[in-house]
Amino acid sequence: MIDTNALNGLIHEKGYSKRSFANAIGMGEQRFYRCMKKGVFGSDDMEKMVDLLGIENPKPIFFAKRVTQ
């Protein structure tokens, strides 16, 4: 499960809104919101996010054991 709080923080830190970030990774806004709500993204989407956000160590974000809400 994805640590959506950490991911949201990185998205905003890099100057994106959720809408602009969804567009930047080639994902529809509604699909992005659904994936964030579930805490689950496909591997292709995760790869795009890692590249776009410049995440050096994606494991704590994309493979979180516990997620704070």
CA atoms of 17 and 28, how far apart (whole Å)? 13
Q: For 9-53, what is each residue's pLDDT tens digit? A: 999 999 999 999 999 999 999 999 999 999 999 999 999 999 999
| Predicted pLDDT at 68 | 52
| Predicted pLDDT at 1 | 85
pTM of this prediction?
0.85
| Predicted pLDDT at 66 | 60
Tell which residue, 15, 16, 19, has the closest CA to residue 28: 19
* Domain positions in the chain: 4-62
Q: What is the 3-state secondary structure (H, E, C) of the chain?
A: CCCHHHHHHHHHHCCCCHHHHHHHCCCCHHHHHHHHHHCCCCHHHHHHHHHHHCCCCCHHHHCCCCCCC
Give, in degrees to the nearest 5, the angle at Cα 61 between 68 and 31. 85
> Out of 1.10.10, 3.40.50, 1.10.260, 1.10.490, which CATH number does the structure's domain 4-62 have?
1.10.260
